[in-house]
Amino acid sequence: MIRLGPRQEGQSAPPRGRWPRAAAVLALAAVVLVLSGCTAEIAQPFSTIAPQNEKTEDIQNLYKITFWASLVVFIGVQVAIGYTALRFRRRNEDRPEQVHGSRKLEIAWTIIPAVILLVLFIPTAQTIFDHANDADRAAASDETFRVNVIGKQWWWEISYPDIPANPDDPEAGPIVTANEVFVPVGANVLFSLASNNVIHSFWVPQLSGKMDLIPGHDNKMQFVAEKPGEYWGECAEFCGASHAWMRFKVNVLPREEFDAWVAAWRTPPAFDANAETADVAEAPPAFGACIACHRVSGTNAQVAGQGIAQNPGYVDPATGEPVPGPGPNLTLMGCRDTIGAGILENTPENMETWLKRTDEVKEGVYMPNYYKQGLTDEQIAELVDYLESLRPADGCPGDDLLVGSEVAAPVIEAQDPNEDPGEDPQ
Amino acid sequence: MATAIELQPETAHGAGHDAHGGQGHADHPPTSTGLNSRKMLMWLFLTSDTMFFGTLIATYMSYRNRSIELGMPPYPNEIFDIPYTSVSAFVLLMSSLTMVLALSAVQRGDNRGLRIWIAATALLGAIFVGGQFFEFTTFAKEGLTLDSNIFGSSFYVLTGFHGAHVTIGIVWLLSLLVVSLRGGIPAEKAADVEIAGLYWHFVDIVWIVIFTLVYLIPYADGPEEAVEAAPEAFLRVLTLGDRLLTALPF
Amino acid sequence: MASIAHPGIHAPAIPREQAAPSGLWSWLTTVDHKRIAVLYGVTAFIFFLVGGLEALLIRVQLMRPENNVVDAQRYNELFTMHGTTMIFLVVMPLSVALFNLVVPLQIGARDVAFPRLNAFSYWTFLAGAAILNIPVLFALPEIFLSIAGTAWTNLFGAGLPDALQALGGRWPFPWFNGWPFARYVPDQGWYGYAPLTERFFSGREIDFWALGLQILGVASMAGAFNFIVTILNLRAPGMTMMRLPIFSWSTLITSILIIMAFPVITIALVFLSFDRLGGTMFYGAFNLVEGTLVTSGGDPRLWQHLFWIFGHPEVYILILPAFGLVSEIIPVFSRKPLFGYAVMVYAIAAIAFLGFGVWVHHMFTTGLGATPTAAFAAATMLIAIPTGVKILNWTATMWGGALTFTTPMLFAVGLVSQFVIGGLSGVMHAVVPVDTQQNDTYFVVAHFHYVLFGGSIFALLGALYFYWPKVFGKLLDERIGKIHFWLTFIGFNMTFFPMHFLGLAGMPRRYSTYGWESGWWFWNVISTLGALLIAASVLVFLLNVLRTAQSKQNVGANPWDAPTLEWAIPSPPPVYNFRIVPLVTHRDQLWHDKYDRIAESHGRPDDVADAIVEVDQLPERSRLGVAVAEAQAEEGNIHLPNPSFYPLLCGLGLFLLAFGILINNPHIQLGFLGIPIVSALGFLLLVISIYGWSFEPAG
């Protein structure tokens, strides 16, 4: 260890007592911990340094250049400081030579950093313009796979403007999902990012850098989905109470699986409580509370609005009460991996937890807790059955998807739905 | 000049400058720069105030054509009465002249002249503020309010902020008038009037800028033209370098 | 031929009537820059403890995945108040405390140019700080109860005992709890991005935050005007700008930054307040009329532009004083003058100037387009050049010196080495594509803590040790001081270095919690342990202060053998600072007097007292100053400003004005004929105080 410890003249002796030694031991312990941490295999699904396509490879290369340049400068400066500190300790009363500066040296260390920065700036600008041009080209091309994203508090509405919900009925609008983006492998994906509430930021670290969703602006983000797999994304701009629980997934599927997913989305659910009364499948009666905000494609639950023009959910300034807006489209809900934008794994138990303790599981959520407002256990069980049944009979497309990167798929732990929900706020 | 002042108590260097200008006071040493500290303070405040108005004006400019672009009336080009506002702008400009005359009077020790010209300045200022008040009420009747559209918001906040400056200036001038009536302002305290004058002239100059940018420069004729002049125009200046940068070999 | 001697060498006894007054009233009405420095310092240190506790709670919450020590709402309040407090109520006022203490002494003045304006700055600062922290004060019992409840549940598996629960998270004063302020703790982040702060997505807490910051802005600007005039106008005879001590230079440039940057945030906050209270939509792209979205024409990005046009210079407002302090401390303990004084001055000026042209680098992910982005990336990289020059010049100052590693020196060298890390990660953020991965992650949190903690706080702590003897006449204990430094140093690195790894692992800022599957827990544990070390280091510092307070020592005028004028006068300084206004002939005046003159006089120290400066060699203005000094000297009095209570009343008036607006809401209505009476009273008090002030003789 380098001893930068002070030595003093006169009144007080150099302190080499117990305390500095304890500090040294502590520091050593910290170093050991740090090193053991480095070697430990920790799955990091949001890692920014595990690029999975060309765009993130570009960023990674720039990062490497910057990192190594920084490391060299860092070591150089620290060695200079350390060496100076050790070598020029005060040893006697002599006054050191009174140097006031050196024009040559100062010019040198003005020019050298300038050169390093210029070297850094050239690839930086190059990559900025390359990525911008890629996005522009994608916007101009017909081959582009377009996805519209609307950030909500605290979930994502995903729609596919080029994939109609019903090919025979142009009025039915596009396919809409929530919190899961499905993309065929090899597609040049162009996201149109918008918000009608607060600012969010759309970020899939392994496929692209982040881009903000700003009300009034239509931001674009482009990347090529090169490898099949599931890639985790998250909101990166603070957006209120449950900012931490606004995660999503990009599922890059082989072409045939993607087509199977589109077909599955368009097929009405198998569960059909009242098949004979109408030509559309009907949701169970308890779902009546949900259809003001949620849609299930191919059923009578088609009331709730979708798209940018809808009330996003807000707090009434006059009363301070939340006013909910349309919620996630629940078509193929049984196939979703998570509930509540990444907060719970999608299992029947967790669905029950979600319905019974909504506001505790996800703070600030606009969805009312109807269990507290009077839905019975039986009605909740019926809803859980219904929601989990919203999946194709022959399994979910892409279920066997391998994770594209080296990172493990996150496992989201289950919670006991009947755990004491705490005191009733009413 | 041959006395060594070692061991002797020193002067009040540095203290008590905020009541006396320093200038013309024998008991205050000259400052390091030779400039009056209070005048310097006013200049610094005006630097700061330039940033205040700069922010307000930049915001107004970036929202200038927004309401036209969105088709949200009332529109600025329809509501402004430029001859009317030109007259009130002229009144405010004239008040700068009377302010100069007031300062010249106090520097001559002419307290009567000072009273007349300060009162005239305050009066002209009051006519301007009254005119602004009348203008605002007329606009409000025509449907332009603080929350009617983004033009209303940025217009009222900018011109209102300026009107508040003029109002504070009038109160200041009237306070000086009262001081002058109750015993007069001696010539060596002319800095008191001069500093108020600096403030007054600044507020006038700002109005010239606001009047030009808000009233005189024509607005977009319709939504298409307005889109061209969309906000963040100040950032668009940078896109002038677009060709240059894209022409580089990388 | 007139001659002038150097200060403090033969200070005669203090005249009795000018002995420092004491008592509470004297503190409330003081206009003495040294006392105002103490007021600023003590207040800022209290807020340092408050902000530190908030940080500690943040770290405890993040210690493990899915933790529930505080809920998401409380967590958001904690990081908002931590950031706001540390920036506006700790680093800025601590810097201002040092401006107040050091600058007039360093330039050989008796006080600042406008002593009452100086007192006004402090009281207004206190008013703004109070507005910001009133909700925190009210929420304290709730916070403690919820933490105690969680801890109890985690330890004993059962809820909190009824006895504790019965307290209900309230203060034990019934009237106190009638106010609903506990719900109004600001929770939108220190940067308050609209539209999250708009009336549709937040509550009254934003009004507390916005009004508090506006008042703090008034205080900062008033102080900045004062210091600019003081430095330009009250320099001792012979102190040219290029003889100005470097800390005074950094004060001057910081003050210029303040008067240019704060108006921008003030107007931005005025727009915000209009949006919230006046129905405008400056920052909201959509208005919500009875649940229907209506395009309003406002633009959320306007807030970002305005905030960062202020926000980036603000970063330099926080760091430049630290650079100045380090430039004072390192030469003293190297026994060598600052290497490249002129270049150091130019570097400060260059950083400040460039600081106004880089704000967009906070907005690289907002979709501004390639060309502006590239231009601002280049501007940002440019800032690294003057900063790098400073780092290397400090190292060169030490090179060839006679280094003594006292506590102030340790902190100063600590800054030089740690700031490099923050500077380098800053350059990484200028590499825009990399920034799109790092922006809003813990990598950024690591970066700015290396700059603000490893930079500003290190320098300010070092300066506390350095200037303590000047204020109190006693040296802080060096032994404890070194423990303090090493604990801080290790704790700091342990807390913030792992955040680089967390950022690379994709952990965004402002996440109240995270799942086990994210793989972020390990470095969070280390970071929290580090935060506990920092907390311990603060306790060590408090211990040091207590120990020193009990000791009986007087270290004399210049315990460190420093070269600037503040060390020429006794410690603590007399109320009038300089019995004889010093005459400056050299940049490192005291070293020149002590060493060079001895050398010039062939090692006969007796000659020093006789050494004289020819007044005729001075520029004309300084000669005039000497002449007036002589005239006053014959009268035999040192003229000092009178105490005044108007600054305090002005601050109180501003406080009531803002407070009245804040409490005039559906829950509390103290109005009369539609006028909020508290605000009206505050306004009246303000107007009366301004007139009282104007017509009060300054003495």
Three-state SS sequence of C568-598: CCCCCCCCCCCCCCCCCCCCCHHHHHHHHHH
Residue ending a domain, among C522, C549, C566, is C566
Asked if B237 reaches chain C (Cβ–Cβ under 8 Å), the answer is no
In angstroms, the CA C454 to CA C445 distance is 13
C673 burial type by CB count under 10 A (0-12 exposed, 13-18 middle, 19+ buried): exposed
In chain C, % of residues over pLDDT 90: 71
CA dist., res. C179 & res. C173, Å (int):
11
- Residue C417 near chain A (CB below 8 Å): yes
Residue B18 forms contact with A (CB below 8 Å) = no
Residue B67 has pLDDT above 50, yes or no: yes
Cβ distance of C432 and A40 shorter than 8 Å: no
Split at pLDDT 50, 70, 90, the class of A355 is: very high
pLDDT, position A272: 54
- Residue A130 CB burial class (10 angstroms; 0-12, 13-18, ≥19): middle
Residue among C695, C676, C684 nearest C653 (CA): C684
- Judge if C269 and C153 occupy the same domain: yes
Query: β-strand A174-178 against A155-164: which pairing, if any?
Result: antiparallel
Domain boundary (C566, C588, C622) is at: C566
Q: Is C584 on the interface with A (CB under 8 A)?
A: no
How many Cβ atoms are within 10 Å of C429's Cβ, its own excluded?
21
Does pLDDT of C226 surpass 90? yes
Q: Is residue C406 part of a domain?
A: yes
Among A159-173, C285-299, C614-628, the least confident range: C614-628
C17: its two tokens: 């009537």
Phi, psi of A344 (to 5 degrees): -130, 150
| pLDDT band of C593, cuts 50, 70, 90 | confident
- Enumerate residues 121 to 150 of chain B having a beta carbon within 8 A of any beta carbon in chain C: 146-147, 149-150
Q: Establish if C5 touches chain B: CB-CB under 8 angstroms.
A: yes
Please name the member of A40, A212, A364 whose beta carbon is closest to the beta carbon of C366. A212
Q: Are residues C624 and C496 in the same domain?
A: no
Residue C699: which of B16, B45, B175 has the nearest Cβ?
B16
Give the residue from C592, C586, C608, C326 showing the smallest Cα distance to A95. Answer: C592
Q: Cα C342–C344–C348 angle (5° rounding)?
A: 120
Q: Chain-centre distance of CA A328, in angstroms?
A: 17
A98-147 tens-digit pLDDT: 999 999 999 999 999 999 999 999 999 999 999 999 999 999 999 999 99
Contact A197 C526 (CB under 8 A): no
Disruptive mutation site among B1, B8, B18 for chain C (greatest number of C CBs within 10 Å): B18
Contact between B52 and C266 using a beta-carbon 8 Å cutoff = yes
Distance separating alpha carbons of residues A188 and A373, to the nearest angstrom: 46
Count of domains in chain C? 3
The pLDDT value given to residue A424: 39
CB–CB of A315 and C202 under 8 A? Answer: yes
Residue C153 included in any domain: yes
Q: What is the pLDDT of residues C369-420, one digit of tens each?
A: 999 999 999 999 999 999 999 999 999 999 999 999 999 999 999 999 999 9
What mean pLDDT, rounded, does chain B reach? 83
Alpha-carbon dihedral angle through residues A255, A260, A262, A264, given to the nearest 10 degrees: -170
Same domain, C490 and C631: no
Considering only CB atoms, which chain C residues are within 8 Å of B55? 263-264, 267-268, 306, 309
Q: Which domain holds residue C657?
A: 645-699
Helix (H, G, I), strand (E, B) or coil at C361: helix
Q: How many CA atoms lie within 13 A of C693 on its CB side?
A: 23
Of C305, C388, C306, the C-alpha closest to C343 is: C388
Co-location of C622 and C531 in the same domain: no
Cβ of A45 within 8 Å of Cβ of C517? The answer is yes
Token pair for B100: 């100069």
Q: Does some domain include residue C331? A: yes
C-alpha–C-alpha distance, residues B115 and B193, integer Å: 11
Q: Say how far apart CA A130 and CA C370 lie, in whole Å.
A: 9
Q: What is the chain A residue with the closest CA to C298? A: A216
Q: What number is the average pLDDT over the span A292-302?
A: 88
Token representation of residue C633: 């000297």
Burial of B233 (0-12, 13-18, 19+ CB in 10 A): middle
**In the predicted model, is pLDDT for residue C646 greater than 90?**
yes
Say yes or no: C619 and C471 in one domain. Answer: no
| B-chain residues near A122 (CB < 8 A) | 250
| H or E element at residue C3 | strand C3-4
Q: Residue A418: is its pLDDT beyond 60? A: no
Strand A180-184 versus strand A247-253 pairing type: parallel
pLDDT at A42: 55
Whether residues C2 and B67 touch (CB distance < 8 A) is answered with no
Regarding whether C183 and C104 lie in a shared domain, the answer is yes
- What single-letter DSSP state applies at residue A244? G
Domain boundary among C566, C586, C607: C566
Which helix (H) or strand (E) covers residue A71, if one does? helix A54-87
Which of A4-13, B219-228, C219-228 is predicted least confidently? A4-13
Question: Which phi and psi (to 5°) does residue A183 adopt?
Answer: -140, 135
Residues 6 or more apart whose Cβ sits within 8 Å of residue C184? C135, C138, C203, C204, C205, C207, C208, C662
Same domain, C538 and C654: no
CATH class in words for A145-389 = mainly beta
Closest alpha carbon to C375 in A131, A125, B231, A126:
A125
Q: For residues C183-202, give the mean pLDDT.
A: 93
pLDDT reading at C490 higher than 80: yes
The enclosing domain of C59 has a CATH number of 1.20.210.10
Question: E strand or H helix at C384, and its extent?
Answer: helix C370-398
Average per-residue pLDDT for chain C = 88
Using pLDDT thresholds of 50, 70 and 90, give the confidence band for residue C1.
very low
Q: Which chains touch B (3 or more CB pairs under 8 A)?
A: A, C
pLDDT in tens, A254-281: 999 999 999 999 987 765 545 555 556 7
Q: What percent of chain A has pLDDT over 90?
A: 63
Structure letter (DSSP) for residue C18: G
Q: Which of A119, A129, A130 to substitute to test the interface with B, most B CBs within 10 Å?
A: A129
Nearest CA to C427 among C388, C467, C482? C388
Band of the pLDDT at A28, cuts 50, 70, 90? low
Binned at pLDDT 50, 70 and 90, residue C601 comes out as low
Task: Please check whether residue A222 touches C, CB under 8 A.
Answer: no
Quote the CA–CA distance of C397 and C673 in Å, as a whole number: 67
> What three-state secondary structure class fits A45?
coil
* The pLDDT value given to residue B18: 38
Give B-chain residues touching C116 at CB under 8 angstroms: 18
Q: What is the pLDDT of residues B142-151, one digit of tens each?
A: 999 999 999 9
Identify the pLDDT of residue B73: 87
Q: pLDDT tens-digit profile of C526-554?
A: 999 999 999 999 999 999 999 999 998 88
C393 inside domain: yes
For residues A353, A358, A363 and A367, what is the CA-based torsion angle, rounded to 10 degrees? 150
Helix axes B37-62, C300-334, angle to 10 degrees: 140
pLDDT for res A13: 38
Work out the average pLDDT over A209-220. Answer: 95
Contact in structure between C70 and C145 (CB atoms under 8 Å)? no
Query: Chains A and B: how many Cβ contacts under 8 Å?
Result: 9
Which segment of C118-122, C296-300, C389-393 scores lowest on mean pLDDT? C296-300
Determine the residue of chain B that is closest to A126 in CA distance: B250
Interface A-C: count of C-beta contacts within 8 A: 359
Decide if pLDDT at A16 tops 70: no
Which of C208, C151, C43, C57 lies closest to C512 in space, CA to CA? C57
Q: What is the pLDDT of residue A36?
A: 47
- Mean of pLDDT values over A378-397: 89
Question: Please, where are the H alpha helices in B142-222?
Answer: 150-181, 190-210
Interface membership of A420 toward C (CB under 8 Å): no
The tokens of A295 are what? 């849609």
pLDDT of residue C595: 87
Is the pLDDT at B224 greater than 80? The verdict is no
| Gyration radius (Cα) of chain C, Å | 26
Residues 6+ apart with CB under 8 A from C550: none
Residue C477 maps to a domain:
yes
pLDDT of residue C11: 39
Q: Are residues C304 and C225 part of one domain?
A: yes
- What pLDDT was estimated at residue B250? 46
**Is the per-residue pLDDT at A414 higher than 70?**
no
C633 at B interface, C-beta within 8 A: yes
CB C26 within 8 A of CB C582: no
Residue of C385, C407, C518 with shortest CB distance to A410: C518
Among A124-133, C92-101, C671-680, name the one with the lowest average pLDDT: C671-680
* ipTM of this complex: 0.90
Q: Which domains does chain B have, with CATH numbers?
A: 37-234 (1.20.120.80)
* C443, part of any domain: yes
CA distances from B224 to B65, B68, B221, B227 (A): 10, 9, 8, 5
C553 touches A at CB < 8 Å: no
Is C395 a member of any domain?
Answer: yes
**Residue A304 reports pLDDT greater than 50:** yes
For residue B244, pLDDT over 70 is answered with no
Could you report the per-residue pLDDT of A65-112, keeping only the tens digit for each?
999 999 999 999 999 999 999 999 998 888 999 999 999 999 999 999
The answer, yes or no, to whether residue C597 has pLDDT greater than 50, is: yes
The label of the residue with tokens 């050091």 reads: C102
Q: CB distance A37–C522 less than 8 Å?
A: yes
Q: Judge if C237 and C364 occupy the same domain.
A: yes
More confident residue, C642 or C262: C262
Distance CA A307, CA A221 (A): 19
* A325 or A407, which is more confident: A325
Q: Is C614 helix (H, G, I), strand (E, B) or coil?
A: strand
State the DSSP code for C362. Answer: G
Question: Which residue in C562, C586, C119, C552 sits closest to C341, CA to CA?
Answer: C586
In Å, how far are B70, B148, B226 from C296, measured between CA atoms?
A: 8, 9, 15
How far is the alpha carbon of B250 from chain A, nearest alpha carbon, in Å? 6
Average the pLDDT over B115-144 and give the result. Answer: 97
Confidence band of C637 (pLDDT split at 50, 70, 90): low
pLDDT at C281 over 60: yes
More reliable by pLDDT, A184 or C12:
A184
Chains in contact with A, where contact means 3 or more Cβ–Cβ distances below 8 Å, are B, C
Q: Does C6 score more than 90 pLDDT?
A: no
Binning pLDDT at 50, 70 and 90, where does residue C154 land?
Answer: confident
Within A88-175, residue ranges assigned H as helices are: 103-140
Q: How far is CA C291 from the centre of its chain?
A: 43
Q: Which residue has the tokens 């207040």?
A: C43
Tens of pLDDT, residues B8-47 = 233 334 333 333 333 334 345 578 898 999 999 999 999 9
Distance, in Å, from the CA atom of B149 to the CA atom of B134, rounded to the nearest integer, reads 20
Between C19 and B99, the higher pLDDT residue? B99
The pLDDT of residue C635 is 47
pLDDT band at C431 (very low <50, low <70, confident <90, very high): very high
DSSP class of residue A331 equals: T
C-alpha C401/C-alpha A81 separation (Å) is 13
